[in-house]
Amino acid sequence: MSGAVPVLEARGLVKEFPGVRALDGASIACGAGHVHALVGENGAGKSTMVRILTGNESADAGEVLLDGQVVRFGGPREALAAGVTAVYQELTVLPAMSVLDNVMLGQERTRRRVLDNRERRRVAREALGRVGLGDVDLGRRAEDLSLASRQLIEIARALARETRVLILDEPTAVLAGEALESIHRVVRSVAAEGIAVIYISHLLEEVRELADQVTVLRDGKDVSTGPIAAYDVPKMVREMVGRDVDSVFPDPAPHGEEVVMSVAGLRPRGDDGPGLDFELHAGEIVGLAGLLGSGRTRLLRTFAGDGGRSGGKIAVGGREVRAGLHAAIDAGVVLVPEERKVEGLALGLPVRANVTLASIAGIARGGWLDRRREKRAYEEERERLGIRASGPEQLTGQLSGGNQQKVVLAKWLRTRPRVLLLDEPTRGIDVGAKAEIYALIRELAAQGMAVVFASSDLTEVVGLSQRVLVCRDGQVVGRLEREDVDPEGIMHMAFGTGAAA
Amino acid sequence: MNRAGALASDFGARVAPLAGLVIVLIAAAITSPSLFESSNLRLILFQIGLIGITALGQTLVLLVAGIDLSVGAVIGLTAVIVAAHTDGSDGALPVAILLAAAAGAGVGLLNALLVIVRGVPPFVATFASFVLVEGVITAVTRGAPSGSIPSGLHTLGADRVAGIPVPLLVFAVLALVVGVILARTSAGRRLYATGLNPRAAAMSGIRTPLVVASAYVACALFAVLAGLVDAGYIGYVDAQLSRELNLESIAAAVIGGVALTGGEGTVGQTVCGVLLLAVLLVWMVELGTGVGGQLAVEGAVILGAVWLQRQTLSQKRSVKG
């Protein structure tokens, strides 16, 4: 940027949500023609920052400057009008609509209130040309295109406007190989046009290759920023985590010999692969790694009896477990789901009622609730898990994400499970609570519980697991013991590029 | 959650119906003192019993995020079955009651089946049942129901015990039973959990289809009971009259503060809503507003109640973030 006024700048942004301080004085400055990478762990505040920059959220404190002038976006439309556009990982392309309609979505050109198709086609054609899709049929339905092309259509939609700042939120998270390259090419050429690009990615190698500048967010603060040349991957990781990974994740105790769960030729519903063979030991923690849509969640859910099997067997403690949620729960296999608010908790019930949600029969005597027993159960779990609530009667919806997650754990621990399955155990949880959840998982394993968790947070997978299974295209494509686990090796397996390190 | 928000939501859900009841009672006492004379009082107490019984069943369905628009049809069906089977003979009454209960349970099961298995919105499913049952009644009876109501039912509908109308007693006992089940048993807990978050409840091992089906069947059986009470009170078959109970049973629960979105509400709130609605209805008759005025006031009160609920809901949302 060398002296020039940055196109878009944020200074000292603060944003608080109930229970979480998502941003705590974060700043960033992006110059025209630069690719500025924004990196950080899940929950570091990246998406909150994007939401503020795009007018979807207003900051509690701090300011946003456009060309050095303070601006205050009242909503996303004002940000768009000012030339700040974001493209998110979750595609907003409408599958049943044509390429043309998708590119022009939200910015219709009309003449006397009727769609001006000639003008629309011209604008769309031009924007598509800039993302390398110049020869795509405008009338084609978006669902017939590849994932990468749909991602490019999103970018074209942004370019069809007068965009000066393009924010890309993990555009390559689900892409690999040539598709990845095509996105990179577009990012470079867009920057070369003089547009400021903010690029969010978890793939630090990619960031090294693509970005000019980098800003690292941690706990809602920008802890480090500078030209990319000054950063290598280990340095970025250090800045993101804020300490040596080893201190958060001490080496786990060795697991027991006893096989708790054994899986033979297991194929989740819709899977026509060779099937999974897998043994899980008492006290063992196994991480499932893989990209979004790689099948980690499906595998976890099949273990939990949710979603059905195409074939194969699961046995717990030597006894076969039929497919089905109830059979799995009865066998002591329980799932802490990713969407805890949707699948884990009844937010409108008091905390005590969620703690006993899965073990209500044990709280009741002949159908009658024993309130004292329920309160005792709550107190036990509060103490064991460190749940911070004002009391057993507090509504669960009022707790912070980390405490809600502890309540989900408590709910299952009341049933004395043998196998604990967790899907994205720390998503949406702030850093302090994360460490507590990790310690809990370790503690439970040390007491003999077998744990399988799926996570897209590589730091978490590498740090917590004794063994890692890597998923790709619905199959387990790699198995790594703790001493062989490293983030890049996992990424290569997950993408199917090159040999494992 | 901030304290003011908590107070406001408590006010909306709990205090408002009670305050409304007091206001209506005072206003009614001032404008039509005759309301509390014995003949009117008897009508009010009967209304409380009849609406109350249906509102209890409706509460169960509302708690699992459903709604039952077939209540009125089941009430009519009950009267028709009893009249046709007994033709006024007390001896045939037990079997007639069993037949009516079976028919009611059938309608409840049909509702549950549509809602659970086919995922039909409860509003549509139960309205279809309503139309279906009404249609069958009209087709079979050709609009003129045969038979007559046995005098034995008179005891249930119009007698008094210690000066208290039997329907009111029946309602009081049922309210107590349902209230205790909801608040103090694991079955009640499962009902609330299912209504608040069916997915989380199912994932926690609760057999939610069974819970939902129980609510619909119980609601239909309560409607059968209301049908017996109604037939006993008026002493003849009138399938038309019972239709209003569709709306009134829902109105009573909602006015009391039972949420249309499921999982929120208590029997105490429903009882409060029933009292409020019954007084309001008879008061309107006293004022000579006619059926139109009655309906208009009823509608306005429901709107007010729903308005209050939505407000408190949005407060909760903002708290949950």
Answer left, alpha or beta for residue B82, where phi above 0 means left and psi between -120 and 50 means alpha.
alpha
Mean pLDDT of A461-476: 91
Q: Which residues of B touch A326 (CB under 8 A)?
A: 205, 207
**pLDDT (tens digit per residue) in A250-274:** 777 788 889 999 999 999 988 888 8
Q: What is the pLDDT confidence band of residue B1, given thresholds at 50, 70 and 90?
A: very low
Backbone angles phi, psi at A297, to 5 degrees: -65, -40
Stretch A296-313: mean pLDDT, rounded?
A: 92
Q: Write the pLDDT tens digit of every residue in A437-450.
A: 998 999 999 999 99
Give residue-wise pLDDT tens across range B94-128: 999 999 999 999 999 999 999 999 999 999 999 99
The residue ranking higher by pLDDT, A92 or B179, is: B179
B191, B196, B204, best to mutate vs chain A, most A CBs in 10 Å? B204
Among the residue ranges A295-309, A416-430, B276-290, the one predicted with the least confidence is: B276-290
Identify all chain B residues contacting A360, using CB atoms and an 8 Å cutoff.
Answer: 186, 189-190, 206
Residue A129 has pLDDT above 70, yes or no: yes
Lowest mean pLDDT among A116-130, B67-81, B145-159: B145-159
Instruction: Give mean pLDDT, residues A141-147.
Output: 87
Do residues A54 and A79 touch, judged by C-beta distance below 8 A?
yes
User: How many Cα neighbours within 13 Å face the side chain of A380?
Assistant: 13
Contact assignment for B204 to A358 by CB distance below 8 Å:
yes
Q: pLDDT at position A248, please?
A: 65
B13 has a pLDDT exceeding 70: no
pLDDT of residue A117: 85
Longest dimension (CA), chain B: 63
Instruction: Pull the structure tokens for residue B59.
Output: 């509460």
CA distances from B134 to A42, B50, B196 (A): 58, 20, 32
Per cent of chain A over pLDDT 70 is: 95
φ/ψ bin of A220: left (φ > 0), alpha (ψ from -120 to 50), beta (otherwise)? left
User: Could A337 and B203 be called an inter-chain contact, meaning their C-beta atoms sit closer than 8 Å?
Assistant: yes
Mean pLDDT of B257-266: 90
Q: Are A135 and A149 in contact (CB under 8 A)?
A: no
* Residue bearing tokens 């309609």: A101
pLDDT of residue A416: 94
Residue A490's pLDDT is what?
84
Chain A residues closer than 8 Å to B188 by CB: 369
Chain A residue numbers touching B1 (CB-CB < 8 A): 395, 398
Chain B residues with CB under 8 Å of A397 CB are 316, 319-320
pLDDT at residue A316 in the model: 95
The count of C-alpha atoms lying within 13 angstroms of the C-alpha of A127, restricted to the half-sphere facing its C-beta, is: 27
Work out the burial of residue A186: count CB atoms within 10 Å of its CB; fewer than 13 is exposed, 13-18 middle, 19 or more buried: buried
In a 3-state reduction of DSSP, which class is residue A128?
helix
Supply the Cα-derived Rg of chain B in whole angstroms: 20
At B242 the pLDDT is: 72
CB pairs under 8 A between A and B: 82
Q: With 90 as the cut, is the pLDDT of residue A52 above it?
A: yes
Ordered by start, the domain boundaries in chain B are 3-320
Residue B24, both tokens = 């209506």
pLDDT of residue B180: 95
**Is B203–A411 a contact, with Cβ atoms under 8 angstroms apart?**
no
- CATH tag, A8-243: 3.40.50.300
Instruction: Enumerate chain B positions whose Cβ falls within 8 A of a Cβ in A.
Output: 1, 184-190, 192-193, 196-197, 199-207, 263-264, 316, 319-321
pLDDT at residue number B27: 85
- What would the mean pLDDT of A374-388 be, rounded to a whole number? 93
B263 with A348: Cβ contact below 8 A: yes
| Contact criterion met (CB below 8 Å) for A369 and A363 | yes
In terms of pLDDT, which residue wins out, A498 or B28? B28
Which positions in chain B touch A349 (Cβ < 8 Å)? Answer: 192-193, 196, 263
Share above pLDDT 90 across residues of chain A, in percent, rounded to a whole number:
55
3 state DSSP class of A483 = helix
On the question of pLDDT at B6 being above 60, the answer is: no
Identical fold at A8-243 and A244-332+418-501? Answer: yes
Sheet with A319-321, strands from edge to edge, namely A276-281, A259-268, A309-316, A319-321
Which residues in chain B are contacts of A361 at CB distance < 8 A?
Answer: 186
Task: Judge: A329–B205 Cβ closer than 8 Å, yes or no.
Answer: yes
Q: Per-residue pLDDT for A6 more than 80?
A: yes
How many other CB atoms are there within 10 angstroms of residue A156's CB atom?
A: 28
Phi, psi of A136, rounded to the nearest 5 degrees: -75, 145
Q: What pLDDT band is residue A70 in, cutting at 50, 70 and 90? A: very high
* Element spanning A384, H or E: helix A371-385
> What pLDDT was estimated at residue B239?
61
Which of residues B5 and A208 earns the better pLDDT score?
Answer: A208
Cα A492 to Cα A495: distance, rounded to the nearest angstrom: 5
Q: Which residue in B201, B202, B319 is closest to A18 by CB distance?
A: B319
Which one, of B282, B299, B310, B213, lies nearest residue B40 by Cα? B282
Residue A57 φ/ψ, nearest 5 degrees: -150, 150
ipTM: 0.84
pLDDT, residue A91, reads 73
- Of A17, A361, A397, nearest to B186 by CB-CB distance is A361
Task: Give domain A244-332+418-501's CATH superfamily.
Answer: P-loop containing nucleotide triphosphate hydrolases (3.40.50.300)
Under 8 Å between Cβ of B221 and B105: yes
**Average pLDDT rounded to a whole number, residues B257-283:** 90
CA dihedral A141, A145, A148, A152 (to 10 degrees): -30
Domain boundaries, chain A: 8-243, 244-332+418-501, 345-416
Structure-block tokens of residue A77: 């439309």
- Residue among A46, A63, A18 at smallest CA distance from A221: A46
Tell me the mean pLDDT in the region A135-141. 91
Residues on chain A touching B207 (C-beta within 8 angstroms): 326
* CA B58 to each of CA A270, B85, B225: distance values in angstroms, whole numbers, following the listed order: 41, 28, 13
Confidence of residue B319 (pLDDT cuts 50, 70, 90): very low
Query: Which has the minimum average pLDDT: A203-212, A260-269, B166-175, B264-273?
Result: A203-212
Contacts for A256-261: CB closer than 8 Å, 24+ residues apart: A256/A281, A256/A282, A256/A283, A256/A284, A256/A448, A257/A281, A257/A282, A258/A282, A260/A316, A260/A317, A260/A418, A260/A419, A260/A450, A261/A303, A261/A314, A261/A315, A261/A316, A261/A333, A261/A418, A261/A419, A261/A450
DSSP E strand stretches across A110-252 = 110-111, 114-115, 165-169, 196-200, 213-218, 221-227
Helix, coil or strand: residue B251: helix
| B193-233 pLDDT per residue, tens | 999 999 999 999 999 999 999 999 999 999 999 999 999 98
Give the helix/strand (H/E) hosting B160: strand B160-161
Distance from CA of B221 to the nearest CA of A (A): 22
Amino acid identity for residue A485 in this structure: V
Q: What mean pLDDT comes out for the span B7-32?
A: 73
Average pLDDT in chain A: 88
Stretch among A413-417, A481-485, A486-490, B21-25 having the lowest mean pLDDT: A486-490
What contacts A439, CB < 8 A, 6 or more positions away?
Answer: none
User: If you ran DSSP here, which 8-state letter would residue A482 be given?
Assistant: G
Q: Which of A306, A319, A327, A309 is closest to A265 using CA atoms?
A: A309
Q: Which among A337, A364, A395 has CB closest to B185? A: A364
What kind and span of H or E run contains A296? helix A296-303
Q: Which of A232-236, A296-300, B235-239 has the lowest mean pLDDT?
A: B235-239
Q: pLDDT tens, B271-301?
A: 999 999 988 888 888 888 777 888 888 888 8
pTM: 0.78
Residues of A in contact with B192 (CB under 8 A): 346, 349, 353
| Facing B204 at nearest CB: one of A342, A357, A368 | A357
Interface of A with B (CB under 8 A): 17-19, 306, 325-326, 329, 335, 337, 342-349, 353, 356-358, 360-361, 363-364, 367-369, 395, 397-398, 411, 415
User: Closest chain B residue to A415 measured between Cα atoms?
Assistant: B204
Report residue A493 as tokens.
Answer: 């397996």
| Cβ separation A367–B205 shorter than 8 A | no
Identify the band that residue B33 occupies on the pLDDT scale cut at 50, 70 and 90: confident
Minimal Cβ distance to B197: which of A325, A346, A361? A346
Residue with tokens 């009823």: B298
Judged against a pLDDT cut of 50, whether residue A499 lies above it is answered with: no
Separation CA A22–CA A57 (nearest Å): 12
Average pLDDT for A9-36: 90
Q: Which of B184, B196, B205 sits opposite A348 (nearest CB)?
A: B196
User: Which of B191, B203, B214 would best serve as a mutation to test chain A binding (most A beta carbons within 10 A)?
Assistant: B203
Task: Say if domain B3-320 classifies as CATH 1.10.357.
Answer: no
**In chain A, what residues touch B262 (CB-CB under 8 Å)?**
none
